[in-house]
Structure formats: structure tokens, C-alpha cells
Amino acid sequence: MRNIIILFIVGLAISVSSCREDFQFEASTGDLTFSKDTVYLDTVFTNIGSSTYTLKVYNKSDKDIKIPTIQLGKGQDSKYRMTVDGMVGENNRVFHDVELLAKDSMYIFIEVTTDVASANPTDFLYTDQIQFDSGDNFQKVELVTLIQDAYFLYPKRFSDGTTETLNIDGIEEPVYGFFLDENDPVNGNEYNWNNDKPYVVYGFAAVPNGKTLTVQPGAKIHFHAESGLIVGNGGSFKAVGTIENNIIFEGDRLEPDFSDVPGQWETIWLTAGSTGNEIENVIIKNAIVGLNIDSNDGNFMTIKNTQIYNSSLAGIYAKTAKIQGENIVVNYGGVAALACTLGGSYDFKHCTFNNNWSSSRQVAVLLNNYYEDENGSNVAFDLTQADFKNCIIYGSNTYELKLDPDTTEDFNYSFTKCLIKFGSTTDALYSWIYDNPLIKRNEDPKFLNIQNNQLNIDEDSAARDFGDNVGVANDILGNPRNAPYDAGAYNWTTFED
């Protein structure tokens, strides 16, 4: 009986389907509706392709329709490209007889690659339209893109098809990169980065022995994926901006969705022996490691009024380095906001190290003086000093400070008038944190907005009035410091303003 019922159902389905007529599509009457009337494709660099943007087209009528044409207004000359419901049409620019069922919708995906010469010379906008049908049934959606010109720095390609590479101590394979050129035929002197238009770097730009890279106030540097800057032994890096004109280092994805995405580019790497490095009024965003600092030339390098955000490993990763830091703000790091490893010598005043990375293993500050070799033995170095004065060390975990010493070598540190996030422990290494008038433990700094990298402190912050005069006259915004002094890089009054 069951088999008879199944056969009956199958036969009925076949008979119904055999009687069904094909869809009858009528010509479009110009009554399409759209998810937006203008598609704004975010700013792109000249000749660099954009992300893909979406337009949804609706047929809200009760009839199946056929749209005679969907095309870009500039036709085959348009710098835009699109696909319509997965179809590529004529060179992704013109489509004929596009069918759309009643009460249904379809997606159009749009991209652009163009140059500043194609844009409007007064506002650098490149525009076009997606046009639907013609005559009385004509409809359109506007397309708008801002084109930004730039200096492009990248490895040379040789006649045999190979590209320029760099050999770097400690790395077995050559690195995709190039040495900057004082007399580049297109960019001019590549050891002087100006602020008249952005720089876009592909691969690692390198500064060799005896050369100095100078970055002007207000310059904007964008690194492509797996790219960065290397300052070699004997080379120098001077990025000194002003409070009004910060120097910015970030990735080359300009879309808002990428504004706070960690790990978009590699690092600024100051290798062992680099000399005379200065970093002041600088913002570094969305790198794997913001500043990768190896052992210096024996002298302290300075980092002042510098902000480092959203690093997938560490904001500052120092190895046997010598750093004097003032008014540094580091927020979000996959391992640490600040990692001072393999010993070294450090002096930080009025700095804010915060880490709200979404894991239970990251810390705001890590101090270490050894590494483990291939035989499992520690190779230790002197931590000559690691002094923190008027600093905030905070974050989302219970313990935001990690001390990791090898006691066969010096491991010297001090924390004076610092606000530190740290829970309870029986480890004697941290006994100095408790009942210490120079430390505020687990008291809230009350940052303005951690997620948006706004680490200004509130009037009720535990960091307010807790500091001493340590000789740093102004806060990170240039506001004068007066007694009583606040801990961290910001005066609380900058929040109020």
C-alpha cells in the first residue's frame, strides 16, 4: 500500500510539472527600486583596486520582467566594473535582457580601479552611473569614488623577471624589499618623505648604513600587506611630527571597515645597530608589530607623544633595546602592548599601556631578560633598568603586568606612582605591588572610550592627582602639566575639554 501511495505522488508531481508553462517575462516598466540611490565607493589610491560594493535591485511588482539593458553610463570606457547576479556581461560593463522574477531581487557588485587623472580636477571625485533601461523607463544609480594620488615605493623588477630582495641578518630567506633611492626618477629623494601626498609602500623599504630617512610632519605612510620599514645597522630613522600635524603609519586599505583591523601590515623595524632614531608625535595603527626595536647603537633612542593602536602581536616589541619614552599611548596587542625582552634599558614617563585584546593571555606590559635556545637552555641578558614613572598599566585581564626573569643576570625594574591592574598572587616576585603607596592596584583609570582608542582619563579617574613631577612639561596633547600631576599620557582636563 505504501509503495502505491509513493507512486501516486510521484506521478502527480510529474503531471503537474509537465503542464506548467515557462515563465513569461514582460518588458520592464521602469518601476525598479534600489537599496540606495548612490553607491559611495570609499577612497582609493590611484591605480589601486577598491573593495567590492553591493547594490540590491528589487522587482516589487507581480510580474516577471526583463530589463533590456543594465550598463555603466560611460560604457566600455568606464573605470568601474560590475557583475549582475553573477553574470559578467560585456567586459563587466554592459548587460542585455536581464530577467528578474516577480517579488524578487538581484545583487549588483561594483568595483573600481582608476587614477587621479581620470577624476574631476577640482575635487578628485570619479563618478559614473549604473543605468537601467532607456527612454521613459530609464532609471539610474549614481557611483562616486574619491581618488587619492600618492608616492608609490616598491621593489624593482629586473629584465629576467625577478624582483629586488633584501638579505637580513637572522632571516634565512631573502625578504621582498628594496633600498630607498636618493635619485629615484619618479619620486625624487626617497630618504625624505613629504606631506604633500601619501606614500604607499609595497614590500620592505630599507634604510642602509650611513643613510637617514626623515619623515616630515603631517606625512601619511600606508603599507601594503606583508610590508613595512627596515632601518639597518648604521641607518637612522627620524619621524618627528607636531601635535597639530602627526605623522601616521597605517595599512593601505582606506575603507572604514578596515580602520581598526589589526595585522594589516608588518612593522617598523629598527634593527641592531641602527642609530639616532627619533619618534615624536607619531600614530602607528593596525600593524602586526608597531615598533620592532632591536639593540641600539649603545645610546638611548627617544619615543615621545606617540600613539600605537591595534597591533596583532605587540605595540612595542623591544629586544635588548635602550628607550626613553614620554607620553606614549599603546592600546590593544595580541600578546602585549609593551614587550621589553632580552634585557635592555628602559625609562618610561607618563605613559599609558592598555590591553583589552579579547583573550585571557595578553598583558599590557611584559618584562623579560632571556630567551630559550634550541637545546632548551636560557640565554640571559642584563635588564639594566626598566623604570616606569607616572604610568598606567591596565586592561581587561586580571593580571596586566608580567615579570619573567632569568636570575643569572640583572633584572632591575621600578614602578613609581603607577596605576596597575593586578590581581592577588602568592608569588613573591610581585610582593612589592601590595600595600605600596607608590602603586594604585586595580583602581579604574576611567578611560573615555577604549574601543575607539580614546584613553583620555575622566575627572574621577584613579590616575588623577596621583603622579609626581618627573620633568615632562606637557601631556600628549600639549597641555601643560601642573601640580597635582596625573598619571598616564593625558591630563584629566583634556577629557573635560
* φ/ψ (deg, to 5) at 213: -90, 120
Rounded CA separation 395/442 (Å) = 10
pLDDT at 289 over 70: yes
Contact 414, 436 (CB under 8 A): no
pLDDT at 425 over 50: yes
C-alpha cell at 378: 636560557
Whole-number percent of the chain with pLDDT over 70 = 94
Contact 44, 112 (CB under 8 A): yes
CA dihedral 289, 291, 297, 302 (to 10 degrees): -160
Rounded CA separation 187/168 (Å) = 25
In this prediction, residue 494 has a pLDDT band, given cuts at 50, 70 and 90, of low
Rounded CA separation 249/375 (Å) = 39
Q: Which amino acid is at 207?
A: V
The confidence score (pLDDT) of residue 168 equals: 74
pLDDT at 56 over 50: yes
Tally of CB atoms within 10 A around 288: 19
The confidence score (pLDDT) of residue 410 equals: 97
> Got the DSSP string for 326-373?
EEEEEEEESSEEEEEEEEEEEEEES-EEEE--SSSS-EEEEEE-EEE-
The confidence score (pLDDT) of residue 48 equals: 87
- Domain residue limits, the chain: 26-148, 151-496
Whole-number percent of the chain with pLDDT over 90 = 82
Contact 48, 113 (CB under 8 A): yes
Considering only CA atoms, which of 369, 436, 375, 428 is closest in space to residue 404?
A: 369
Give 177-230 pLDDT, tens digit per residue: 999 999 999 999 999 999 999 999 999 999 999 999 999 999 999 999 999 999
Q: Which amino acid is at 131?
A: Q
Consecutive H or E run containing 9: helix 2-19
Task: Mention every residue, 6+ apart, whose C-beta is less than 8 A from residue 195.
Answer: 216, 217, 218, 219, 220, 245
Task: Mention every residue, 6+ apart, whose C-beta is less than 8 A from residue 191.
Answer: 180, 182, 207, 211, 212, 213, 214
Contact 448, 458 (CB under 8 A): yes
Consecutive H or E run containing 496: helix 492-496
pLDDT at 355 over 60: yes
Q: For residue 446, how far is the Cα from the chain centroid?
A: 25
In this prediction, residue 316 has a pLDDT band, given cuts at 50, 70 and 90, of very high
pLDDT at 115 over 80: yes
Give 356-390 pLDDT, tens digit per residue: 998 888 999 999 999 999 999 999 999 999 999 99
C-alpha cell at 78: 568606464
Query: Helix (H, G, I), strand (E, B), or coil: what is residue 6?
Result: helix
Rounded CA separation 330/355 (Å) = 8
Rounded CA separation 426/430 (Å) = 8
Which CATH class name applies to 26-148? Answer: mainly beta
The confidence score (pLDDT) of residue 257 equals: 87
Give 328-348 pLDDT, tens digit per residue: 999 999 999 999 999 999 999
Give 131-183 pLDDT, tens digit per residue: 999 999 999 999 999 999 999 999 988 878 788 999 877 677 888 999 999 99
Considering only CA atoms, which of 156, 175, 157 is closest in space to residue 166?
A: 175
pLDDT at 402 over 80: yes
Give 70-82 pLDDT, tens digit per residue: 999 999 999 999 9
**Side-chain half-sphere CA neighbours of 10 within 13 A:** 6
Which stretches of 80-131 are DSSP H helices? none
Give 436-481 pLDDT, tens digit per residue: 999 999 999 999 999 999 999 999 999 999 999 999 999 999 999 9
The confidence score (pLDDT) of residue 12 equals: 47
The confidence score (pLDDT) of residue 16 equals: 44
**Considering the chain, what is the average pLDDT of its residues?**
92
* φ/ψ (deg, to 5) at 107: -105, 140
For residue 347, the cross-strand partners are: 324, 387
